[in-house]
Amino acid sequence: MRNKKCFIKQNKKIWFVAVLLVVWILAYRVLLPFSDYLIYNVFGLEKGKHLTDAIWFFVFEFPKVLLLLTLIVFFVGIIRTFFSPERTRKALAGKTTFAGNVMASLLGIVTPFCSCSAIPLFLGFVEAGVPLGITFSFLIASPMINEVAVVLLFGMFGWKVAITYVVTGLVIAITAGWIIGRLHLEKWVEEWVYKTKMGDAGDEVIRLNFTDRLQSGFTAVREIVGKVWLYVALGIAVGAGVHGYVPEDFMAALMGKSAWYSVPLSILIGVPLYSNAAGIIPIVSVLIEKGASLGTALAFMMAVIGLSLPEMIILRKVLKLPLIVTFVGIVSIGIMIVGYLFNLIF
């Protein structure tokens, strides 16, 4: 009896999700004609004017990015229920270098983890015998390649740039972690880390059924989209202003291909600049339109998203300063190579 009730409830939820998906597809499809209709017919704005361009950019891009974000965050929220830091740790314990670095970087993308949990996670990994370099691969990939960044890159630049970002981000996480592992820097980890004894809290993940997982998807949407929509709005608003008013090759001198210093400069600016992907990517997308080169812009975004000052400060509790400097140095060099490479290719 109880099972049947449960089954009906589960079915209801699946139908609800199916209906939402149809609504989503319709909304995404009519967005472009609707934006045109709203701007040119309802508001009666004149085509080709700066103000019209700026308003159109916002009216179209903001709902578009928000729709994409909701969809992807929902599915990533469901995928994440199959992973947990505990499982990831078990999978990585005692792994050999390189194969372990690859695995850690990939798991870094899907394992639910926020930077405020960086310390307990680091301790948990070390305690379980996950090698230092492999732990770093995880810590580099996890913030750099996140669903919000990927969605925004896809929405503002298209899938080619989004995939490029993910692949180069992975390569940086794998290589940087591998190098840190080879350097044997365990001496620069605070001594008390190795003395910490850890209890066993068991695994919460196993007891979830499908409805629970759907619910996790909704929770993820509420938490993540509820938090970043404002940054998206601000980023796109600034982007819209730049899009409409700043002259075409304004950024060419500072962030263009011909300026050799543009890549290191944008990393230097990017690391201390603490912003999330949601705010920075729309702005960067219009910088490219105004003459910034793709490699430089990519390097800038990676530095902003992947290396954040607050996370370094948190990690300082478990890592000695030389190790943090080495870590930031190696990742920065990786980002720099990516930047130059893309300026060369594209």
Partner 1 sequence: MNILILGTGCAKCKSLEKATRDVVAEMDLDAEVTKVEDIVEIMSFGVMTTPALVIDGKVVVKGRVPDKNELKQLFTK
For residue 166, the minimal CB distance to partner 1 (Å) is: 24
Beta carbon nearer to partner 1, 52 or 211? 211
**Helix axes of 159-182 and 294-306: crossing angle, nearest 10 degrees:** 60
Nearest C-alpha neighbor of 83 from the set 106, 51, 50: 106
Beta carbon nearer to partner 1, 126 or 148? 126
Cβ 168 vs Cβ 50: under 8 Å: no
Token pair of 165, please?
């970002």
Rounded Cα–Cα distance for residues 56 and 45 (Å): 10
Beta carbon nearer to partner 1, 52 or 115? 115
For residue 229, the minimal CB distance to partner 1 (Å) is: 17
Beta carbon nearer to partner 1, 103 or 263? 103
The Cβ of residue 3 has, within 10 Å, a number of other Cβ atoms equal to 7
Rounded Cα–Cα distance for residues 211 and 36 (Å): 39
Token pair of 131, please?
């090698």
- What residues does 189 pair with on adjacent strands? 319
The Cβ of residue 344 has, within 10 Å, a number of other Cβ atoms equal to 9
Per CB under 8 A, residues contacting partner 1 are 84-86, 89, 112-114, 116-117, 119-121, 123-124, 127, 192, 196-202, 204, 219, 317
Helices and strands counted in the chain (H then E): 17, 0
Beta carbon nearer to partner 1, 53 or 127? 127
Burial (Cβ within 10 Å: 0-12, 13-18, ≥19) of residue 278: buried
Beta carbon nearer to partner 1, 11 or 117? 117
For residue 220, the minimal CB distance to partner 1 (Å) is: 10
For residue 122, the minimal CB distance to partner 1 (Å) is: 9
For residue 168, the minimal CB distance to partner 1 (Å) is: 28
Question: Which residue matches tokens 């962030």?
Answer: 255
For residue 118, the minimal CB distance to partner 1 (Å) is: 10
Beta carbon nearer to partner 1, 70 or 84? 84
Beta carbon nearer to partner 1, 1 or 114? 114
For residue 136, the minimal CB distance to partner 1 (Å) is: 16
* Residue at 274: amino acid letter: Y
Cα 315 to chain center, whole Å?
19
For residue 116, the minimal CB distance to partner 1 (Å) is: 4
Rounded Cα–Cα distance for residues 132 and 328 (Å): 15
What is the three-class DSSP state of 319?
strand
